[in-house]
């Protein structure tokens, strides 16, 4: 079952035979470990509980963030890779790319095809790989000024956004101007 871990904490019950924190902190077995002889169960349980709690918490965090089962199979390579995937999310570092954050939030960005001619228009933009569920928001800005003569302000906004893409609408603030430079819409989208 995804989202679970086989790593479980030890000695967590209400009546667990575990040494108190006051006795453990600074004790000879905390500082030096166990000497030859018979270890006291309440002392061994204290050590096992401390290490098993951290292992269980970390692996449950990994299982939840990546929606996987973390098995107790001795595969250190997989465990290290999963830790890396949680704390250094996978993504692309390019002009068009995406990044999946822990918890499932996905960021996508890119550059549209060139906006051309006239003083208003639409350009279709595909996310490439669609969001698995929803696109929550798209923001866009032009990559340069729209006109080489006179003043012109290009306004961009997304319409008809879906999990697979959106339509980028553009307008020139000066209705007498039209796009004469090559202008692209640089966009940023958030979804899951």
Distance CA 181, CA 177 (A): 11
pLDDT at 91 (0 to 100): 63
* Residue ranges in the chain whose pLDDT is less than 50: none
51 and 16 within one domain? yes
Distance CA 92, CA 106 (A): 12
60 and 11 within one domain? yes
pLDDT at 114 (0 to 100): 79
Please tell me the total count of domains within the chain. 2
The distance from CA 89 to its chain's CA centroid, rounded to whole angstroms, is 5
Q: Single out the residue in 87, 115, 147 at which a domain terminates.
A: 87
Q: Single out the residue in 36, 63, 87 at which a domain terminates.
A: 87
pLDDT at 180 (0 to 100): 58
Q: Would residue 92 count as lying in a domain?
A: no
Relative orientation angle of helices 41-66 and 76-87, to the nearest 10 degrees = 60
Distance CA 108, CA 89 (A): 13
The distance from CA 10 to its chain's CA centroid, rounded to whole angstroms, is 31
130 and 105 within one domain? yes
Q: Would residue 176 count as lying in a domain?
A: yes
Domain that holds residue 11: 4-87
- What CATH number has the domain bearing residue 171? 2.60.40.2080
102 and 68 within one domain? no
pLDDT at 174 (0 to 100): 63
Contact 94, 43 (CB under 8 A): no
Q: Would residue 44 count as lying in a domain?
A: yes
159 and 117 within one domain? yes
How many other C-beta atoms are found inside a 10 Å radius of the C-beta of residue 43? 18
130 and 46 within one domain? no
Tokens encoding 120: 């208003």
Q: Strands 106-115, 183-191: parallel, antiparallel or unpaired by DSSP?
A: antiparallel
179 and 125 within one domain? yes
pLDDT at 11 (0 to 100): 93
Q: Single out the residue in 63, 87, 111 at which a domain terminates.
A: 87
79 and 8 within one domain? yes
Contact 165, 140 (CB under 8 A): no
- For the entire predicted model, the pTM comes to 0.55
49 and 77 within one domain? yes
184 and 126 within one domain? yes
Distance CA 142, CA 79 (A): 43
Q: Would residue 28 count as lying in a domain?
A: yes
pLDDT at 190 (0 to 100): 97
Q: Would residue 113 count as lying in a domain?
A: yes
68 and 20 within one domain? yes
């Amino acid at each position: 079952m995804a989202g679970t871990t086989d790593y479980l904490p030890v000695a967590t019950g209400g009546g667990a035979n575990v040494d108190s924190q006051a006795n453990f902190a600074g004790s000879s077995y905390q500082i030096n470990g166990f000497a030859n002889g018979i270890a006291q169960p309440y002392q061994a349980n204290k050590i096992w509980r401390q290490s098993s709690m951290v292992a269980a918490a970390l692996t449950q965090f990994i299982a939840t963030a990546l929606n996987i089962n973390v098995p107790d199979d001795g595969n250190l390579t997989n465990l290290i890779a999963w830790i890396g995937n949680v704390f250094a999310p996978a993504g692309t570092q390019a002009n068009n790319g995406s990044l999946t954050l822990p918890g499932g939030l996905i960021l996508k960005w890119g550059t549209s095809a060139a906006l051309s001619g006239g003083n208003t228009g639409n350009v279709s933009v595909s996310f490439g790989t669609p969001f698995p569920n929803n696109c929550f928001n798209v923001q866009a800005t032009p990559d340069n000024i729209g006109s080489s003569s006179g003043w012109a302000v290009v306004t961009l906004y997304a319409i008809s956004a879906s999990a697979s893409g959106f339509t980028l609408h553009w307008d020139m603030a000066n209705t007498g101007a039209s796009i004469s430079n090559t202008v692209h819409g640089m966009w940023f989208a958030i979804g899951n």
